[in-house]
Structures are given as C-alpha cells and as structure tokens.
Amino acid sequence: MRKVLLSWSSGKDSAWALRALRADPGVEVAGLFTTVNRQSNRVAMHAVRETLLEMQARALGLPLTKVYIPDPCTNAEYESAMTGAMEDARSAGIEAIAFGDLFLEDIRRYREEKLSATGIEPIFPLWGSDTRQLAREMVEEGLRAIVTCVDLKQLDRSFLGRVFDSAFVDELPEQVDPCGENGEFHTFVYAGPMFAQALPVAPGKAMERDSILFIDVIPAV
C-alpha cells in the first residue's frame, strides 16, 4: 500500500478526496497536511481557526501535519516551507500527496512541477469529475459544510454562512460552479461519511476584504 498524505484545506473537496482515498485498497492515508498562517493561527487557504482544524482531524481519526507560513507570505517563502515539509514527509515514508483539485489545469501543473524533484507523487482522486454531479453526490451522501467565504464578484453575499446542502446547490446561479472550483465560494466541512461524528460549529462574525466576504466559523459548545 502507498502511504499518502492528503492536502487538507478544511473544505468539502478535501473531505471528498479523503473518501475516495479510503475506498482505494492500494492506499494508506497516513495523515492530513495543512498550511497555517503563523500570525493568525488560521488555515492559510480558508482562514479557518486552527482549533477547528484540529477538531476535524480528531473526528477523521488522522494525524495532522501543520506547516506554518508567515502572513503575508511571499511565493518564495511558501515554496521554501513546502520543500522542507516534503523532505520531512519523504523521510517518514510518504510516497504521494493527494489534492482535492477538480479541473484547474494551471494549479495541477504547478503542483506537479514543484513536487517533481521531491520523490513524492502528486495524485488527484477527484480530477475530471462532473462538478454538478459531484456536488449532488456529496450532499446526498450526507456531507455538510458551512460556506465560509464568498467572492462578491461572482456570488451574492446572501450565500455566506449557509449550509452546503441540496437547497444551496439548487439556488446557485447557472454561471457559478457547484463546487466553487473557480473560487466563487469556500467551505468548512463539519459532517459526512468520513467523520466519526459531526462537529458542533456555527457561523460567527462576517468580515469583508477586497471584495471577498468571510465568516468566522466558531465552536458551538
């Protein structure tokens, strides 16, 4: 079995990639891998609190590797941190790192180029999925997530803080990708078949910056 790390954004696509990996008899999911902003103690991709990231890892039953980066972070600083993390992963016997990317060729190409010299293979278990069908499959099989971020240039602010469910998918404008792959929205996943139990969380205060509207997910206990 190949030992695989999963690049974990805290969102629904990462969670569904985990489901796909666990269904593969040739894969051992060795843990989650996440970049965290050192100053804010939040997930770099989705601005989710580090404490909630840790709650997810416990409910998934997986060890969590956190790579701390500065905020703001230059591309050189990010790549340096990632290179060191991949060296550590390789030393621990990791053979591949999985990503939840769906169809953005430039992002896939970047990952492949940067990992080419590390000895770690990038894999994309959801690649090429029909995102409309994929979104339906997610919600029908019990995945639930809070919409934590909305790009106001692409999606109305009323979608912020909602639950990613059938009603949410139904009401998305036609031009918006149902999985938000073009950056229209991001999510924090709190329930689904990959979790031992649902996480008690709730949407908190909203913040806006550069036409991006965020909501601070908070523990509900």
Give tens-digit pLDDT for 159-207: 999 999 999 999 999 999 999 999 999 999 999 999 999 999 999 999 9
**Which domain does 104 fall in, by range?**
2-123
pLDDT of 21 above 90 = yes
State whether residue 137 is helix, strand or coil: helix
Please state the pTM of the whole predicted model. 0.95
| CATH number, residue 193 | 3.90.1490.10
Predicted pLDDT at 45: 75
**Predicted confidence band of residue 44 (pLDDT cuts 50, 70, 90):** confident
Q: Are residues 149 and 177 in the same domain?
A: yes
- In eight-state DSSP terms, residue 49 is B
Burial of 61 (0-12, 13-18, 19+ CB in 10 A): exposed
Predicted pLDDT at 97: 97
Single residue among 83, 106, 123 that ends a domain in this structure: 123
Q: Are residues 90 and 147 in the same domain?
A: no
Predicted pLDDT at 150: 96
Q: Are residues 81 and 105 in the same domain?
A: yes
Q: Are residues 10 and 118 in the same domain?
A: yes
Q: Are residues 117 and 147 in the same domain?
A: no
Mean pLDDT of 39-43: 89
pLDDT of 71 above 90 = no
| CATH number, residue 62 | 3.40.50.620
Single residue among 68, 96, 123 that ends a domain in this structure: 123
Instruction: Share the mean pLDDT of the chain.
Output: 95
Specify the DSSP element, H or E, that contains 150.
strand 144-151
CA 130 to mean position of chain CA atoms? 18
Single residue among 100, 123, 146 that ends a domain in this structure: 123
Token representation of residue 100: 């939840």
pLDDT digits (tens, 9 = 90+) for 30-39: 999 999 998 8
Mean pLDDT of 29-53: 91
Q: Are residues 113 and 140 in the same domain?
A: no
pLDDT digits (tens, 9 = 90+) for 78-133: 999 999 999 999 999 999 999 999 999 999 999 999 999 899 999 999 999 999 99
Q: Are residues 119 and 168 in the same domain?
A: no
Q: Are residues 148 and 100 in the same domain?
A: no
Predicted pLDDT at 39: 87
Tally of domains in the chain: 2
Long-range contacts of 75-80 (CB under 8 A, 24+ apart): 78/35, 79/114
Specify the DSSP element, H or E, that contains 83.
helix 75-91
